[in-house]
Structure 1
């Protein structure tokens, strides 16, 4: 009687165990990409019905649109600024919340609370707070004597886009702090005791112990936040809808406008493929750099 394949080839056992999960994951990823590719290479009416095959015409129309390059650059600025600011703020917040002090549990709940609120609802609240006439922000700044007249925050790109970046950082901090707290809790405390006994300062302990040991968690937070922020829709759309005059438009809102306002489904699908390719390439490059850095360390 012939022995099972897994018995004859023991090295195949792990592969056979993960093969069903890998196949399911591949299908979940591949089918939407194939569907987008089909829509992007066909003429599509407003009801989503495929018409004639057009090849790369939809992609060419997107690349020829003067609004596309500005939107792409703004998306990169939006993503980079929010992710960098989020990590910069989350590291000290996580370090503080990791300390043993009275009320630490309540402080953690307060920091995590925005994470439990819908992002769309947060954007609606901020839109009300930023109202140029009766917004809470203007009233507060006037009461503090910081401004003499009301500022219409969302009427100009000079103020609207920076404000949106700050809100993006604020809503991304709870998730990032959670990741960092998980990393900090995994670091043994005895290494700090030994470093302190050797005369290492707080900054030396942070730079030589905490930061290197936290690197995998920082890498995880950066990659997840880039994917999350790059595709983030509610903040930009609810606050300004990409305006004024497309000055706060990013790729995901531009895509939505093309698909559901202008009815250009093929061009919208082309932008989706471009976004997928950008995220895939960046994630692979960043993970490769991170793995190389860990090996060198």
Structure 2
């Protein structure tokens, strides 16, 4: 049979993993949909069917819309900042220099630390009374008096964005290093012989060849950052005055602080829809660019 239908061989090989993944994803998804369409007790017991009642209550909550807008800013700023920082770092680490292995290790080390533990350390560092961040700024003469960074959303949220960028750089740099290592060096030698400057080589050779890896890093980082929970929750728990909530912390707040499991399930489905729409649109746009090229 396999000789007669060789095209079935790849499908048979991936079938076990595909079935396992489908079961792992399908069951929770069906359960969340069911919860989102019912009134649910604080203990997770389904009550009356309320159709779109949970969605209506969520959409009527101003805090949901504030968290949605803030999530968009959070994702754009962290992902954009991560890509902007990671590519130059990867270009430097791809060069041959003494101590390159040590430098790569130092850049990758934060990736091995728990994100929650990193957030705890930063919460201590940003403490207004004894935090080392204030102490460093004062010793450099940048500030005169300590700043309580996490006491106001105007200062807390930008600091969370910066931390989000810092913890995302190692993973993204690894992706870019993998892409740069696959670029043949001969083309750069030919470009040098033709008189191309370093910037021209970067613009006409490196960026086009790195486009698949830029796409991969963008999509993975958007999914990762959009759902990133520990930094916001550990530092401020969405406060002060709900001023730093993003959708994932708002969902957690609804479910485990207020006991509104049905509304939390509705928020999770909204998040899934947003990520799915982004992924489809982004992949299609990239596909059109590749077809045009």
TM-score by length of 1: 0.96
Deviates more, 1:68-77 or 1:39-48: 39-48
The equivalent of 2:72 in structure 1 is 76
Residue 207 in structure 1 maps to residue 176 in structure 2: no
Shift of 1:84: 0.3
CA distance in 1, matches of 2:209, 2:46: 52
Name the residue aligned to 1:232: 228
Structure 1 residue aligned with 2:215: 219
**Cα distance, 1:52 vs structure 2:** 1.4
TM-score when scaled to structure 2? 0.97
- 1:56 is aligned, of 47, 52, 55, to 52
Task: Kindly tell me the number of residue pairs found equivalent between the two proteins.
Answer: 293
Q: Tell me which of 131, 135, 138 is aligned to 1:139.
A: 135
Match of 2:41 among 41, 45, 50: 45
Cα offset for 1:190?
Answer: 0.6
- Equivalent of 2:283, from 265, 284, 287? 287
**2:100 corresponds to which residue?**
104
3-state SS of 2:48 partner: strand
Structure 2 residue corresponding to 1:172, chosen from 168, 172, 176: 168
Which blocks of at least 5 consecutive residues in structure 2 are unaligned? none
Distance 1:16 1:68 in 2: 44
Q: Which 5+ residue runs of structure 1 have no aligned equivalent? A: none
Q: CA RMSD in A?
A: 1.1
> Could you tell me how far 1:14 is from its partner in structure 2?
2.8
Shift of 1:8: 3.4
- Report Cα offsets for 1:191-232 as digits up to 9, x if no partner: 100000000000000000000000000100000000000000
